[in-house]
Amino acid sequence: MYKIIYLALLSFTAHVAYAQKPRELVIKIDPQNKAQKIDNFGAAGAWFTEGIAKNWPTQNREQMAEWLFSKDFDTHGNPRGIGLSAWRFNIGGGTAEQGDSSGITDFRKRVECFLRPDGTYDWSKQAGYVWFTKKAKEYGVENLIAFSNTPPVQFTKNGLGYKTTKDYISNLKPEHYGDYAGFLATVLKHFDSEGLHFKYISPVNEPQWDWSHPPGQGAKQEGSPWRNDEIAHVARSLDSALTAHGSASKILLTEAAQLDYLYAKSGNANQQTQAFFGPKSKLALTNLKHLPSVIGGHSYFTDKGDSARIAIRRHVADTTAKYGVTFWQTEYSMLADGYREGKTGRIPAIDCALFLSKVIHDDLVYGNAAAWQLWNSWEPGNPDFDTRYYLIALNPASKEYLDGTITATKNLWALGHYSRFIRPSMHRLNITRNDSLTPTQIAQDLMVSAYASEKEIVLVVINYSNEERVLKPEISGFKAKSGEVYLTTGEKGVDMRRSKVENLKEGVTIPGRGMATITTNN
């Protein structure tokens, strides 16, 4: 009897000792083993921006700007914001002036236009959008990106900011390509004169969708389809207009609705990397002064299932590399149900944040994305559950959207784990791991990516498992032993919380379902 109890006690003790010792992962980093050069991390400020900037309390607007753009730290060393290096500004098509006759049912998604019907310009329009863009500039955001969802309504075939026929053909009248290009170039020139330089201008958005709603049924937003030949036409027209205006802005194409449209798929706007950058393509745009070898695509609807998600991004990387093109992920939020990963009911905010982090990781590591941008910075919602669309949750206090409260979500800090510390011109580094997990297995375990400047190494770690883990980085040629750790968990208030680690080789503990950024300077 005593022997049985003793053996049971030994077994229990061994089990407890094992359970208390987290599994370790050793990663080896060579700062010279570089992958893609990082250009920016960004987000869009659209729809609700106009009412917020015009009507909400100043302290709320200032707090939103600080959360998004600040690179400062508080007295405890915690980041005050996520230090975005890109900000996306929507150039509207004039649906706000049309009011209810615009056909867009939600007034907050109608956007003003700088161009009047008589051909003159009103620069007082879009004051809310401009306010936040000026704040981005004040905080030192490196890249301002302007994008358009529809040409001005006076240039469209149906006089609306969306299609009423489902033919997948552009809503722009054929005789107005030059006018549309001239409008965009004029807007950029005006803001240049005000000290707001838009480094990039994106003239089409998600050209694969039909953006069609029959008359009387109502639309959700501005939008237009574009065939590949129409995209080439507008790009050439815009290149000429930018040249005529003496602009330094670059054209950003194509904002593909899904990543697989960049290399495959069917329809009038498919295989876009090959179409616009293939040396034998009739639509090749490689000779345009203002068009860099960059192509943008959206990660929507290509995020479901670890294996499929990774495979799609590898296809993007292979195709863009073949044609000498740099890939940017220019828009993403969790529109479909991939983020649920089989879960039902309300999804906790930390689970949304972890999934967002995983998509960013895969876009960077497997897709070789040089830029990563989110849609949308703010929308109405509950900050504790299903925060899949936004970084900042809005709680409107009135139906007219005149005032309200704001809450930073876990998504904000999930993006911040990348954007705050991975600065423009840093390189992603290839790393090796001491485990034998496949990429699909890693996606449910401990994901690690590494980035470097001349004197700094940044690691972003996502612990997708429920158990505590220990990461041990080994950096060749680096003398520094200590580092800073910024941790986010599901616990309230643990949002990029700073701590110090004296010896990185001894390991950094990452809680289950947690994210961390580790920085060290040589």
Q: Which residues of 266-295 are buried (b: 16+ CB within 10 A; e: fewer)?
A: eebbbbbbbbbbbeebebbbeebebbeebb
Collect all residues with Cβ–Cβ distance below 8 Å to 81 and sequence separation of at least 6: 66, 67, 68, 69, 70, 71, 72, 139, 416, 420
**Residue 122, both tokens:** 């009103």
pLDDT at 13 over 80: no
CATH number at residue 26: 2.60.40.1180
**Residue 260, both tokens:** 């697989």
pLDDT band at 14, cuts 50/70/90?
very low
**Residue 251, both tokens:** 């054209």
Residue 7 located in a structural domain: no
405 and 271 in a single domain? The answer is: yes
pLDDT band at 398, cuts 50/70/90?
confident
Angle between helices 228-244 and 177-193 (to 10 degrees): 40
pLDDT tens track for 271-304? 999 999 999 999 999 999 999 999 999 999 999 9
Residue 222 located in a structural domain: yes
- C-alpha span between 109 and 123 (Å, rounded): 20
The pTM (predicted TM-score) of the whole model is 0.95
316 and 203 in a single domain? The answer is: yes
For the chain, what is the mean pLDDT? Answer: 95
Residue 13 located in a structural domain: no
26 and 66 in a single domain? The answer is: no
Average pLDDT score over residue span 118-138? 98
pLDDT at 1 over 50: no
pLDDT tens track for 138-184? 999 999 999 999 999 999 999 999 999 999 999 999 999 999 999 99
468 and 386 in a single domain? The answer is: no
325 and 465 in a single domain? The answer is: no
Domain boundary among 399, 424, 449: 424
- Range with the poorest average pLDDT among 190-194, 202-206, 395-399: 395-399
pLDDT tens track for 71-117? 999 999 999 999 999 999 999 999 999 999 999 999 999 999 999 99
pLDDT at 185 over 80: yes
User: What is the torsion angle, in degrees rounded to the nearest 10, for the CA atoms of residue 446, residue 451, residue 68 and residue 79?
Assistant: 80
Residue 19 pLDDT: 55
Domain boundary among 424, 448, 480: 424
247 and 388 in a single domain? The answer is: yes
454 and 376 in a single domain? The answer is: no
- Domain that includes residue 514, residue range: 21-34+429-521
pLDDT tens track for 423-451? 999 999 999 999 999 999 999 999 999 99
Residue 10 located in a structural domain: no
Residue 211 pLDDT: 98
- C-alpha span between 485 and 164 (Å, rounded): 52
Average pLDDT score over residue span 251-263? 98
Residue 6 located in a structural domain: no
Residue 360 located in a structural domain: yes
Residue 146 located in a structural domain: yes
Residue 188 pLDDT: 98
Number of domains into which the chain is organized: 2
Domain boundary among 402, 424, 446: 424
**Residue 263, both tokens:** 């290399």
398 and 447 in a single domain? The answer is: no
Higher-scoring residue by pLDDT: 18, 376: 376
Residue 319 pLDDT: 98
Higher-scoring residue by pLDDT: 279, 479: 279
400 and 485 in a single domain? The answer is: no
In angstroms, the first-to-last Cα distance of the chain is: 61
For every residue of 204-243, DSSP letters joined together read ---TTS--B--TTS-BSS------HHHHHHHHHHHHHHHH
pLDDT band at 522, cuts 50/70/90?
confident
Residue 131 located in a structural domain: yes
- Range with the poorest average pLDDT among 3-7, 37-41, 76-80: 3-7
394 and 463 in a single domain? The answer is: no
Higher-scoring residue by pLDDT: 398, 253: 253
371 and 464 in a single domain? The answer is: no
494 and 360 in a single domain? The answer is: no
Higher-scoring residue by pLDDT: 505, 221: 221
CATH number at residue 386: 3.20.20.80
